[in-house]
Amino acid sequence: MIFLNNHRTLRNLLIVGVIIAAGLLLRQPIGELSNYLLRNPAVLRPLGWIALLISSLILIVAARLALPVISKFWRTTSFWFVRRNFNWWLPLVSVIMLLILFLISASNPSIGPFAGLTAAGVLPLLIPLMMGVQAATLLSLEDDHALELPLTCQRPFAWQVAEYALLTLILYLLLGAVGILIALPTAGGDFVALLLRWLPAAVLLWGLGLRVCIATRQIIFSVMIVLALWYLLLYFGQTILVQYPYLWLLHPFLQSAQLPLILPESSSADFLLNRALVTALGLLFFASAMHQLTDEEWVLTGRYPLALPKKLEVAGNVDVNR
């Protein structure tokens, strides 16, 4: 009875019941819609452009809201503090692994886990993973017991975390650019084509890793999410697209050569739409993480502030425990 007297428990049970009932009622229409999308995945193209437009507007609004903070504190960056406390061993490991993978690809392996690895395939294999792991290990709100100190600084706490995240982004962009210059002589193509192969997936895992790290307040769980998503989408992404071709809009590791197999009448605009949507999704994760960090009480306690009754607000300083 005590369990059922909890109004939050009853509300959650009601929500679950409504979702189950809606699923049972809509099972047949959803199945028909899924079958239609399987036969005609190109019909999602207009929805993709609409989603890109909405995402762009959200990012513009977020940038507009952050502009006063940026204009006030951009001259007082804590780069030197960030540089001393940044986790530099992950970029160092990335450089070593990048060189090893380039050497392996130069030997044209035909057997083993790296069979068929080319110079152009090294960057999509490594950069998104390491960038996502780096972002997922930026901070642990649950284990950091000295959060009061950065929260008392004049610069917002979200600004300080953003400096770590942007430093991660810049480092791996530079590493990826150097990797492209190394791969160009053997991979062919141009710089932009090789950049589009890995950059959207890297931005997605970077934003997702940071968002999950802040939402769960746990580094290990965040790294596991990034690793699982990277492995699933990189190694099984093509299989998933064959089974569910309407997911082509959000596949992070989609390659231009794969798209005609899914959309027979596809064009370069469809590939660019996919790349833009995946990148925008990663930036939305980043903006959401920064917005979460503006709530100082949540940063300290992991709980949202409770609204006081109006009588207590009018009364002023009232001992609510009395």
Residue 39 lies in a domain: no
CA distance 121 to 189: 13
Residue 321 lies in a domain: no
Residue 16 lies in a domain: no
- According to DSSP, residue 26 is labeled T
Residue 204 lies in a domain: yes
Tally the C-alpha atoms within 13 A of residue 98's C-alpha that lie toward its C-beta. Answer: 26
Chain center to CA of 177: 21
Size (the chain), residues? 322
Positive or negative CA dihedral for 298, 130, 95, 97? positive
Q: What is the pLDDT at residue 202?
A: 94
R_g (Cα) of the chain, nearest Å: 23
First to last CA, the chain: 27
Q: 257-262 — which CB contacts under 8 Å span 24+ positions?
A: 262/41
CA distance 179 to 44: 34
Count other Cβ atoms within 10 Å, centred on residue 31.
10
Tally the C-alpha atoms within 13 A of residue 236's C-alpha that lie toward its C-beta. Answer: 8
Residue 48 lies in a domain: yes
CA distance 51 to 64: 20
Residue 27 lies in a domain: no
The Cα angle at residue 92 between residues 86 and 96, in degrees rounded to 5: 165
The ranges of the chain with pLDDT < 70 are: 1-12, 23, 26-38, 40, 70, 73-85, 111-112, 141-155, 298, 301-322
Chain center to CA of 3: 37
Of 176, 22, 43, the closest CA to residue 97 belongs to: 176
Residue 248 lies in a domain: yes
Q: What is the pLDDT at residue 238?
A: 84
- Count of domains observed in the chain: 1
Phi-psi region at 295: left, alpha or beta (left = phi > 0; alpha = psi -120 to 50)? beta
CB 266 within 8 A of CB 259: yes
CA distance 276 to 249: 9
Chain center to CA of 241: 20
Work out the burial of residue 17: count CB atoms within 10 Å of its CB; fewer than 13 is exposed, 13-18 middle, 19 or more buried: exposed
Q: Which two tokens stand for residue 313?
A: 């607000």
Residue 83 lies in a domain: yes
CB 101 within 8 A of CB 123: no
Count other Cβ atoms within 10 Å, centred on residue 16.
10
Q: What is the pLDDT at residue 78?
A: 59
Which domain range does residue 202 map to?
A: 44-301
